[in-house]
Chain A
Amino acid sequence: MKHICLYFHVHQPYRLRTYRFFDIGNSHEYFDDYANSFIMQQIAEKCYLPANKILLENIKKHGNKFKVNFSISGIALEQFELYAPEVIESFKKLANTGAVEFLAETYYHSLSSLKSKSEFKKQVKMHSEKIEKLFGQKPKVFRNTELIYSDDIGNMVFDMGYKTMITEGAKHVLGWKSPNLMYCSAANPKLKLLLKNFQLSDDIAFRFSEKRWSEWPLTTEKYTKWLNALSPKTEVVNLFMDYETFGEHQWAETGIFDFLNALPGSIIKSSDYSFSTLSEVSNSLQTVSPLHIPYPISWADEERDLTAWLGNELQDEAFNKLYSIEDKVKKCNDEEIIKMWRYLQTSDNFYYMCTKWFSDGEVHKYFNPYNSPYEAFINYMNVLSDFIILVDEKYKINENQSKKAPGLKEEKSASVKAKKTVTKKTTAKKTTTKKATSKKAKTKKASVKK
């Protein structure tokens, strides 16, 4: 018996508003509430709700023969709760069937795995808790942002207790090896790796409506035939794609929903593949060999590397500056500030600064609200500049407080005589700092979009 795994990724970033340099120091409103709610509601209508409905119907129709896997970023879940709660409900219905597995990832769809181990772990924990709370299952399989994987990341993930991770079946690391088998990490053989079959995945995700494609139009019969024609040694075919493929990247008019609706029946009826969750595959297959991946791979672009988010001067400056304040941010001890810092980590922010789409990649253009990477960078840096000012102010207040505190104690114990005056001073100081912090908290609250 061979496995077929459908895995869909759901994500929407918090888009930044046009934030001019004259806003720096004046406004801590960073996000475009209107655009975010509008886009979320639109995509819910076009994609999430109709696609969820089709999946639910198929699960009911085929019983336990049809299964799917999902990962939903924490900030997408947050935005569903804010702008399209009916989407959460429909995912809950899917979860209740028992035929759907939810994967773990970073809550903020961040690139923290490349920069800060502690931050990475924290965000994964946050996400896992969120999924458990909403869907009643604790994720067992891990997917990193953009399927980014390296030996180092694999180690961190294993340390967090995950035994299985998914990533791209990138040609430059696989070489002659097939993506249709289960591998393990060379750095830590106990970590199992399931790889995306990018050929068959992209046939649906990118080529489905491409009329110049020699295989257009794609039918479920044809697709099932391709699956049957794969090497007899095939043990698992992993079809990993953005969930927005259905109705958003490929419009309803292309017939993508009909395809999605008919595919389970076609595969169940005319092939010897069975739909599985990733955990089931991980438990039932043996790993065939270790994969040594010293440099991070991802599922993006031809290169399958990090260059969509990092590598040019703009991306590197923004990224490094953002993480350079990690220490300070955390010492601020202010949840709103930490949350905002995490929102700024969302990988989309760096994707917009990519200069590769000058030469190729309609895909990049499609997802980019900015006219050019330069505009994206300037806007992001304006926001970040303001945020750094905010952090510095808060940090200083905290520093002063902690400096003052022991000093006061000493004073107190040292001179009992001056007790009265000292207490007076302390209260005065306390009230001023309190005022300052509460003011800050207010502005902060305003800036976090809710």
Chain B
Amino acid sequence: MRVLMFGWEFPPHISGGLGTACYGLTKALNKSGVEIIFVVPKAYGDENPGRIKLVNASDIEVNIADEIYKEHWDKTSFLEIDSTLMPYTSEEEYFEMIEKQEETKYSTIDKKDFKSQKFTFSGGYGKTLIDEVKRYALIAASIANQHEFDIIHSHDWLTYYAGIEAKRVSGKPLVVHMHATEFDRSGENINQNVYNIERTGMHAADKVIAVSNLTRNTVINRYGVDPEKVTTVHNGVEPNEDNLYADTEKNIKEKVVTFLGRITYQKGPEYFIEAAYKVLQRDSNVRFVMAGSGDLLNKMIRRVARLGIADKFHFTGFLRGDDVDKMFGLSDVYVMPSVSEPFGISPLEAMRSNVPVIISKQSGVAEILKHAIKVDFWDIDAMADAIYGLLHYSSLPGMFKTYGKEEVDNIKWDNAGLKVKEIYEETAKSRN
């Protein structure tokens, strides 16, 4: 079984859960014997755009040092397409980015020789995000022409046109993976272009994988996809390597309650602030941290200032890699108040670091977690109460450490990988 996969960058160069999910799933699939041609968009900054780079596993910036998995990476080949596509980019953001690049675009020309030179494309990045998605799809078609594979797998809407094109030229079945829907990202104010691409992708696909039952329902109810076609495969979490930061020395006396994620509508940062305010009314011996960045950041800072809690409420900006682990190491409670969270890997990462978690009921991960406190995202009273309880009733964090860690260690990517492999096999079979 060989898969042509349109995925996203691996950690540590990621801006969210999508990369982490691609990484975990690819690793697990490799382990179960599935070969993968992994195609990722990667912008080369001021290098000449329009090239595909074939990368050896050893060049991929990912921690493959751990021996267990090393052997499996030889089943994967990586294709990097020079593209400015990035997960979580909005149309506006994309436009700004391209504007900035215009000036430097032709300043340098890359002279290095690549094996994959024949895949070079001329021309620049798309003017708009949708243009770039289409351009990416054209490149995908030519890749599909050049490679042998049994099935195509596309992750999230930015790669759906690529998947569709690959399917058209190869005649192989297409699986699309819904990590998030436009309704999760934007609430009811959806971007119609994005919605259309998501819908087209799912209808063109032979099989849709949803990361939770929550997402599966959205896909069925709001995109009119045949329920028969949609299967839920819950994400996993990477097993804890040496947890260097579990015992991070805290130089703050107070307990620390953390929000970590993009500061956007979807993640519900304002509910965290309101809950923090409630807790601080009662207990000043606690600090709140909002880690991440996003379009609501400034608004959140203003809200905190207005509430007069800025001395106890801190913003860290965007954290990556080690800093994320360090942040967990410092935290006593992790809160994920997402308004709509298709899955939500971060609570699992927190639990892996022995941090008790409070998660919104509107998250896919709530479907599989038992040892977490679940509240409605809008119920700031319940959220505040849960935070207070975790900080004041000492046996609670103890329970979470014992059972939460054990629970999360059993949510393995390997299981998700096996399920996806089954889906591949079924889909390929029904085709033949």
Partners in one complex: yes
Q: Which residues of A are at the interface with B, using a C-beta cutoff of 8 A?
A: 20-22, 24, 312-314, 316-317, 355, 358, 371-372, 374-375, 377-379, 381-382, 385
List, in ascending order, chain A residues with CB within 8 A of B388's CB: 21, 378, 382
- Main secondary structure, interface of B, reads helix
Of B278, B386, B388, the most chain A CB neighbours within 10 A belong to B388
Q: Is the CB of A314 within 8 A of B399?
A: yes
A-B contact pairs, 23 of them (CB 8 A): A20-B382, A21-B385, A21-B392, A22-B278, A22-B381, A22-B384, A313-B402, A316-B395, A317-B393, A317-B394, A317-B395, A355-B399, A358-B371, A374-B373, A375-B386, A377-B393, A377-B396, A378-B385, A378-B386, A378-B389, A379-B385, A382-B389, A385-B392
Q: Closest Cβ of chain A: how far from B255's Cβ, in Å?
A: 14
Q: Closest Cβ of chain A: how far from B205's Cβ, in Å?
A: 35
List, in ascending order, chain B residues with CB within 8 A of A317's CB: 393-395
Which residue of chain A has the shortest Cβ distance to B407 in the bound complex? Answer: A358
Q: Is the CB of B370 within 8 A of A358?
A: yes
B361-372 Cβ-contact flags toward A at 8 Å (1 or 0): 000000000110
Q: Closest Cβ of chain B: how far from A358's Cβ, in Å?
A: 5
Q: Closest Cβ of chain A: how far from B335's Cβ, in Å?
A: 14
Q: Which of A20, A313, A371, A379 contacts B399 (CB 8 A)?
A: A313
> Known contacts being A313-B398, A374-B396, is A21 close to B384, with CB within 8 Å?
yes
List, in ascending order, chain A residues with CB within 8 A of B371's CB: 358, 374
List, in ascending order, chain A residues with CB within 8 A of B384's CB: 20-22
Taken together as a complex, chains A and B put the C-alpha atoms of A150 and B211 apart, in Å, by: 50
Taken together as a complex, chains A and B put the C-alpha atoms of A378 and B374 apart, in Å, by: 13
Residue B282 CB within 8 A of the other chain: yes
List, in ascending order, chain A residues with CB within 8 A of B370's CB: 358, 372
Instruction: State which residues 392-421 of B face A: CB under 8 Å.
Output: 392-396, 398-399, 402-403
Given A20-B381, A374-B371, A378-B393, 13 other A-B contacts at CB below 8 A?
A20-B382, A21-B279, A21-B389, A22-B281, A313-B402, A355-B399, A355-B403, A372-B370, A377-B393, A377-B396, A378-B373, A378-B385, A378-B388
Q: Is the CB of A375 within 8 A of B396?
A: no
Taken together as a complex, chains A and B put the C-alpha atoms of A374 and B388 apart, in Å, by: 12
Q: Is the CB of B403 within 8 A of A382?
A: no
Q: Is the CB of A375 within 8 A of B399?
A: no
List, in ascending order, chain A residues with CB within 8 A of B386's CB: 374-375, 378
Taken together as a complex, chains A and B put the C-alpha atoms of A372 and B386 apart, in Å, by: 12
List, in ascending order, chain A residues with CB within 8 A of B393's CB: 317, 377-378, 381
Which residue of chain B has the shortest Cβ distance to A314 in the bound complex? Answer: B395
Minimum-distance CB pairs A-B, first 4 = A378-B389, A313-B395, A317-B395, A21-B388
Taken together as a complex, chains A and B put the C-alpha atoms of A355 and B386 apart, in Å, by: 17
Q: Is the CB of A374 within 8 A of B385?
A: no
Taken together as a complex, chains A and B put the C-alpha atoms of A94 and B374 apart, in Å, by: 46
Q: Closest Cβ of chain B: how far from A25's Cβ, in Å?
A: 9
Taken together as a complex, chains A and B put the C-alpha atoms of A387 and B403 apart, in Å, by: 30
Q: Closest Cβ of chain B: how far from A288's Cβ, in Å?
A: 44
Which residue of chain A has the shortest Cβ distance to B394 in the bound complex? Answer: A317
List, in ascending order, chain A residues with CB within 8 A of B381's CB: 20, 22
Taken together as a complex, chains A and B put the C-alpha atoms of A366 and B385 apart, in Å, by: 24
Taken together as a complex, chains A and B put the C-alpha atoms of A316 and B381 apart, in Å, by: 26
Taken together as a complex, chains A and B put the C-alpha atoms of A381 and B389 apart, in Å, by: 8
List, in ascending order, chain B residues with CB within 8 A of A314's CB: 395-396, 399
Q: Which of A22, A378, A379, A385 contacts B396 (CB 8 A)?
A: A378
Q: Closest Cβ of chain A: how far from B301's Cβ, in Å?
A: 25
Taken together as a complex, chains A and B put the C-alpha atoms of A375 and B386 apart, in Å, by: 8
Taken together as a complex, chains A and B put the C-alpha atoms of A313 and B392 apart, in Å, by: 14
Taken together as a complex, chains A and B put the C-alpha atoms of A169 and B10 apart, in Å, by: 59
Taken together as a complex, chains A and B put the C-alpha atoms of A20 and B384 apart, in Å, by: 8
Taken together as a complex, chains A and B put the C-alpha atoms of A39 and B395 apart, in Å, by: 31
Q: Is the CB of A372 within 8 A of B373?
A: yes
List, in ascending order, chain A residues with CB within 8 A of B395's CB: 313-314, 316-317, 377
List, in ascending order, chain B residues with CB within 8 A of A355's CB: 399, 403
Q: Closest Cβ of chain A: how far from B257's Cβ, in Å?
A: 14
Which residue of chain A has the shortest Cβ distance to B278 in the bound complex? Answer: A22
Taken together as a complex, chains A and B put the C-alpha atoms of A162 and B389 apart, in Å, by: 43
List, in ascending order, chain B residues with CB within 8 A of A20's CB: 381-382, 384-385
Taken together as a complex, chains A and B put the C-alpha atoms of A20 and B281 apart, in Å, by: 13
Taken together as a complex, chains A and B put the C-alpha atoms of A312 and B399 apart, in Å, by: 8
Which residue of chain A has the shortest Cβ distance to B381 in the bound complex? Answer: A20
Of B278, B279, B389, B390, the most chain A CB neighbours within 10 A belong to B389
Of A20, A316, A377, A382, the most chain B CB neighbours within 10 A belong to A20
Which residue of chain B has the shortest Cβ distance to A315 in the bound complex? Answer: B395
List, in ascending order, chain A residues with CB within 8 A of B402's CB: 313
List, in ascending order, chain A residues with CB within 8 A of B374's CB: 371-372
Taken together as a complex, chains A and B put the C-alpha atoms of A21 and B388 apart, in Å, by: 7
Taken together as a complex, chains A and B put the C-alpha atoms of A385 and B394 apart, in Å, by: 13
Q: Closest Cβ of chain A: how far from B369's Cβ, in Å?
A: 10
Taken together as a complex, chains A and B put the C-alpha atoms of A312 and B279 apart, in Å, by: 27
Q: Closest Cβ of chain A: how far from B259's Cβ, in Å?
A: 19
List, in ascending order, chain B residues with CB within 8 A of A377's CB: 389, 393, 395-396
Q: Is the CB of A22 within 8 A of B282?
A: yes
Taken together as a complex, chains A and B put the C-alpha atoms of A22 and B278 apart, in Å, by: 8
Taken together as a complex, chains A and B put the C-alpha atoms of A48 and B359 apart, in Å, by: 40
Which residue of chain A has the shortest Cβ distance to B375 in the bound complex? Answer: A375
Q: Closest Cβ of chain A: how far from B361's Cβ, in Å?
A: 9
Taken together as a complex, chains A and B put the C-alpha atoms of A257 and B382 apart, in Å, by: 41
Q: Closest Cβ of chain B: how far from A378's Cβ, in Å?
A: 3
Which residue of chain A has the shortest Cβ distance to B386 in the bound complex? Answer: A378
Of A21, A375, A381, A385, the most chain B CB neighbours within 10 A belong to A21
Taken together as a complex, chains A and B put the C-alpha atoms of A437 and B396 apart, in Å, by: 35
Which residue of chain B has the shortest Cβ distance to A21 in the bound complex? Answer: B388
List, in ascending order, chain B residues with CB within 8 A of A358's CB: 370-371
Taken together as a complex, chains A and B put the C-alpha atoms of A313 and B397 apart, in Å, by: 10
List, in ascending order, chain B residues with CB within 8 A of A374's CB: 371, 373, 386, 389, 396, 399
Instruction: State which residues 260-285 of B face A: CB under 8 Å.
Output: 278-279, 281-282
Q: Closest Cβ of chain B: how far from A445's Cβ, in Å?
A: 26
Q: Closest Cβ of chain A: how far from B339's Cβ, in Å?
A: 19
List, in ascending order, chain B residues with CB within 8 A of A375's CB: 373, 386
Q: Is the CB of A382 within 8 A of B385?
A: yes
Taken together as a complex, chains A and B put the C-alpha atoms of A116 and B382 apart, in Å, by: 34
Which residue of chain A has the shortest Cβ distance to B283 in the bound complex? Answer: A21
Q: Closest Cβ of chain A: how far from B373's Cβ, in Å?
A: 5
Taken together as a complex, chains A and B put the C-alpha atoms of A382 and B392 apart, in Å, by: 10
Taken together as a complex, chains A and B put the C-alpha atoms of A358 and B281 apart, in Å, by: 34
List, in ascending order, chain A residues with CB within 8 A of B281's CB: 22
Which residue of chain B has the shortest Cβ distance to A25 in the bound complex? Answer: B282
Taken together as a complex, chains A and B put the C-alpha atoms of A316 and B399 apart, in Å, by: 12
Q: Closest Cβ of chain A: how far from B281's Cβ, in Å?
A: 7
Which residue of chain A has the shortest Cβ distance to B390 in the bound complex? Answer: A378
List, in ascending order, chain A residues with CB within 8 A of B399's CB: 312-314, 355, 374
Q: Closest Cβ of chain A: how far from B227's Cβ, in Å?
A: 27
Q: Closest Cβ of chain A: how far from B375's Cβ, in Å?
A: 9
Which residue of chain A has the shortest Cβ distance to B373 in the bound complex? Answer: A374
